[in-house]
Amino acid sequence: MQRFKFQLPVLWLTYSLLTGCAYFTEPEVDPETIVPMRMDALSIKATTFVYECPAADDFTVSADNDQAWVFLPEETLQLKSVPTASGVKYANDTETVSFWNKGEEAILDLGATQYTACKNNRSKAIWENAKLKGVDFRALGNEPGWIVEMGQRSVVFVRFQPEMVQHVFKTTEPVTDAVNGESVYTLDNDDHDMQMTISEISCQDSMSGESFESKVTVKLDGQVFIGCGKALH
């Protein structure tokens, strides 16, 4: 078992819109496609989970068929896949520390401490996946459903309805208005123009009721999308 202590922004994961993830260094943006990220420690089939346990801190897991990274408040564990009668299990070399999951439930055994009846929170897992893969700001909206994920080099906009459409832009420096608390990003690629305005106004998601720190307005080729977002780092 390897143990690491670090700041999460240093640990990058590869691109997946909802749950897939793996470590990457962010490449230059090809505006025509979603950029494939280079994987180092985990395969592109890795999946992110956020587990909530009774009377214990939440913890995040990124796992593939061969290994799992368990992100705890004070440290990170790298565990290898081991045989198990049911579900999936990962452990250190001596199997004194292990993580087991089946479906949405999991058990984390740290030897002296065991966390049982832990359940994956899918909503939190989506945001944690974005954070770990290097997204600095994420926003979403409804009717039609859409998301924006902004990193240091790229901005990805995805509209889910009536069919899924995605556009990638190079990140630009915003024009900021400190008085009104707004930052405006003007983006374009060969085919599309987009303007994203982030306003420091408390915002509530129209479907989930979740509160966010910012109101976000996106204008893509003249079509307006309004939603909520927050900084992830």
**Number of other CB atoms surrounding residue 149 within 10 Å:** 22
> Does pTM top 0.75 for this prediction?
no
Half-sphere exposure of 5 (CA within 13 A, CB side): 3
Of the chain, the end-to-end C-alpha distance in Å amounts to 27
Q: What is the pLDDT of residue 31?
A: 35
Q: How far apart are CA 227 and CA 147, in angstroms?
A: 9
How many whole angstroms separate alpha carbon 100 and alpha carbon 178?
Answer: 48
Amino acid code (one letter) for 113: T
- The pLDDT, as a whole number, for residue 58 is 93
In degrees, to the nearest 5, what angle opens at C-alpha 12 toward C-alphas 60 and 193? 115
Domains of the chain: 2-123 (2.40.128.200), 136-231 (2.40.128)
Closest by Cα among 86, 81, 6 to 42: 81
Q: How far apart are CA 155 and CA 182, in angstroms?
A: 18
Note the pLDDT tens digit of each residue in 51-96. Answer: 999 988 899 999 988 999 999 988 999 999 999 999 999 999 999 9
138-166 confidence digits (pLDDT tens): 999 999 999 999 999 999 999 998 899 99
